[in-house]
Amino acid sequence: MTVEELVAAVVALAIVSAKRLGAGLADRAMESVEQSVADRLGWLYRWIAGRLPGEEGAALVEEAGRSPAARALLRRRLVRALGEDPAGVEELRVLLSPHTPVLAHSDSLLPESSGIPRQLPPAVADFTGRGQELVRLVEAAERPGGGRVCLVHGPGGIGKTSVVVQAAHELMPSFPDGQLFVDLNGAEERPAAVGDVLGDFLVALGVPRGRIPDDEAGRTRQFRTESADRRVLIVLDNAASEQQVGALTPGGSSCAVLITSRQVLATLAVDERVALPGLDEGTAWDLLRRIGGGDRVDEDPEAGRDVVRLCGGLPLALRIAGARLATFPARTVGSFARDLADDHRRLDVLSLGERSVRAVFLACYQALPSLQRCAFRLLSALDTPDLPAWALSPLLGVDPDTADECLEGLLLVHLVQARRGETGGQRIVLHDLTRGFSKERAAEQPADEADSAVRRLLGALLSAADAADAQLRP
């Protein structure tokens, strides 16, 4: 069966469940046959709802039972979701097989697992560069001694997941007992619940749902017991905190863990810590040509170089730029580069479909405490390449200790960067794309916020100049 046929079948059956026919069967069940049908319908409903984000899946299934248009929309959404998920397609084939046993426990209905999970998403076909980082991750994960934990951290859109998935595929032969993968939703308002993730991991490792403890601590202990004698690779993508990761780390010496996070996770004990930088100009050029088309980019190499420069080495920005060039072939590379050069439109241009540089920055910004959000907005008030770290105190109107703590918070989530100045002091640096986002956020605030901050900073600079003059000419 094709993906479209599989989706049509599962949608039809899920609608039966949504209309509560499955629940009626369960109420009347006198024999295991009717109960089995009810269980399967219920599992189908939960499976299809879980393939779509948030509460959208359940709501759309409910609506599909009443509206042919909603039914068609549901089929399209599922086909698109499964188009990038070969493992999900195979899971659906198994799900629709009449020979697949189903285990019921509480509100969860899941098929029995073979005990050897293969959960890695496909590697990126146009993966480019990152050779040194891949070598570090693979060598660390295969290092003798066991319990290898590797962290890849960096700002949103820098390509952390692509690097870790690429490394995981290279590591598959070294971990024959399976590969576990989960998106921990660390950039979202509600990160993934550790207990739920542990439950899914245990089911994937072959533990019957009825034998899984209800509490998180019990699930952690059982996960470590089940993984103790297996060679399993665990990929924890988009981690929110050290606590979230700690409960999902096996205690044995035969497994390895690859973690990605937008945060530094400074107190997490790791064997290899990789800070992912932006792409250098040569690698960025290669990536743009691979996605946008070599002939397409080469027709105006000067404009192509401008596109690379304006994307600032951010892989997400380069991928969106390349996709735009490939999607709209009638548009010249030069005209696209001119649109990208417009500071007021750059983040609008770097958006296509569900991918958006602005959305990545916004998720990180919204998770910040109010003082850090204010600091981030004010750092673009003076259009300079960088600022001395001490300037944050007068900009915010707070004492130096509070300003330093605020800066550390921004550095930990990679919204700003820091470099050492010529005189040894620390200087704050904003990426060009991040600077544009900072200006957008500042424009949403009352004008006097930035004006007052600049006046305070100018006052501090004048005071420093007076003090220096007094030292030079007492």
Task: Kindly state whether residues 142 and 202 are assigned to the same domain.
Answer: yes
| Mean pLDDT of the 142-168 span | 90
Q: Is residue 358 included in any domain, yes or no? A: no
Task: Kindly state whether residues 254 and 135 are assigned to the same domain.
Answer: yes
Task: Kindly state whether residues 87 and 159 are assigned to the same domain.
Answer: no
Task: Kindly state whether residues 270 and 226 are assigned to the same domain.
Answer: yes
Which of 303, 324, 353 is a domain's end point?
Answer: 353
Burial class of residue 211 (count of CB atoms within 10 Å of its CB; 0-12, 13-18, 19+): exposed
Whether 29 shows a pLDDT value over 50: the answer reads no
Q: Which residue has the tokens 């820091």?
A: 418
Task: Kindly state whether residues 208 and 331 are assigned to the same domain.
Answer: no
Give me the phi and psi of 96, to 5 degrees please: -80, -10
Report the CATH number at residue 218.
Answer: 3.40.50.300
Task: Kindly state whether residues 263 and 288 are assigned to the same domain.
Answer: no
DSSP 267: T
Angle 56-64/68-83 helices, nearest 10 degrees?
Answer: 140
Helix (H, G, I), strand (E, B) or coil at 339: helix
Lowest mean pLDDT among 20-34, 384-398, 407-421: 20-34
> Which helix (H) or strand (E) element contains residue 11?
helix 3-18
Burial class of residue 466 (count of CB atoms within 10 Å of its CB; 0-12, 13-18, 19+): exposed
Q: How much is the pLDDT for 26?
A: 39
DSSP 2: -
Q: Is residue 361 included in any domain, yes or no? A: no
Contact status, residue 164 vs residue 181, Cβ threshold 8 Å:
no
Alpha-carbon distance 460 to 45, whole Å? Answer: 63
369-396: pLDDT as tens digits: 999 999 999 998 888 888 999 999 999 9
Q: Which residue has the tokens 């629709």?
A: 96
Whether 435 shows a pLDDT value over 60: the answer reads yes
Question: Token pair of 422, please?
Answer: 């010529």
Distances in Å between the Cα of 28 and the Cα atoms of 15, 39, 43, 164 are 20, 13, 18, 49
pLDDT band at 349 (very low <50, low <70, confident <90, very high): very high
Please provide the average confidence, as pLDDT, over all residues in the chain. 83
Considering only the C-alpha atoms of the chain, give the largest distance between any 2 of them, rounded to a whole number of Å: 100
Report the CATH number at residue 465.
Answer: 1.10.10.10
Task: Kindly state whether residues 428 and 458 are assigned to the same domain.
Answer: yes
Helix (H, G, I), strand (E, B) or coil at 275: strand
Which of 51, 77, 110 is a domain's end point?
Answer: 110
Of 385, 305, 313, 310, the C-alpha closest to 347 is: 310
- CA atoms within a 13 Å half-sphere pointing along the CA-CB vector of 91: 19
Lowest mean pLDDT among 3-17, 169-183, 347-361, 385-399: 3-17
Q: Could you tell me if residue 27 is left (phi over 0), alpha (psi between -120 and 50 degrees) or otherwise beta? A: alpha
Contact status, residue 289 vs residue 321, Cβ threshold 8 Å:
no
Question: Token pair of 17, please?
Answer: 């469940």
Q: Is residue 251 included in any domain, yes or no? A: yes
The domain of 411 spans 373-472
Burial class of residue 302 (count of CB atoms within 10 Å of its CB; 0-12, 13-18, 19+): exposed
| Of 251 and 36, the one with more pLDDT | 251
Task: Kindly state whether residues 155 and 49 are assigned to the same domain.
Answer: no
Task: Kindly state whether residues 287 and 270 are assigned to the same domain.
Answer: no
| Mean pLDDT of the 437-461 span | 90
Which of 110, 141, 169 is a domain's end point?
Answer: 110
Q: Which residues pair with 388 in a beta bridge?
A: 427
Whether 43 shows a pLDDT value over 80: the answer reads no
Contact status, residue 91 vs residue 51, Cβ threshold 8 Å:
no
> Which helix (H) or strand (E) element contains residue 418?
strand 417-420
Alpha-carbon distance 325 to 470, whole Å? Answer: 59
Amino acid at residue number 378: L
Q: Is residue 118 included in any domain, yes or no? A: no
Q: In degrees, to the nearest 5, what angle opens at C-alpha 219 toward C-alphas 110 and 49?
A: 30
Task: Kindly state whether residues 11 and 139 are assigned to the same domain.
Answer: no
Q: Residues 6 or more apart from 446 whose CB is under 8 A from it?
A: none
Q: Is residue 211 included in any domain, yes or no? A: yes
Task: Kindly state whether residues 395 and 320 are assigned to the same domain.
Answer: no
pLDDT band at 299 (very low <50, low <70, confident <90, very high): confident
Q: Is residue 122 included in any domain, yes or no? A: no
Amino acid at residue number 427: R
Lowest mean pLDDT among 51-65, 127-141, 361-375, 378-392: 51-65
Q: Is residue 172 included in any domain, yes or no? A: yes
| Of 149 and 47, the one with more pLDDT | 149
Task: Kindly state whether residues 309 and 186 are assigned to the same domain.
Answer: no
- If one counts the domains in the chain, the total is 4
pLDDT band at 159 (very low <50, low <70, confident <90, very high): very high
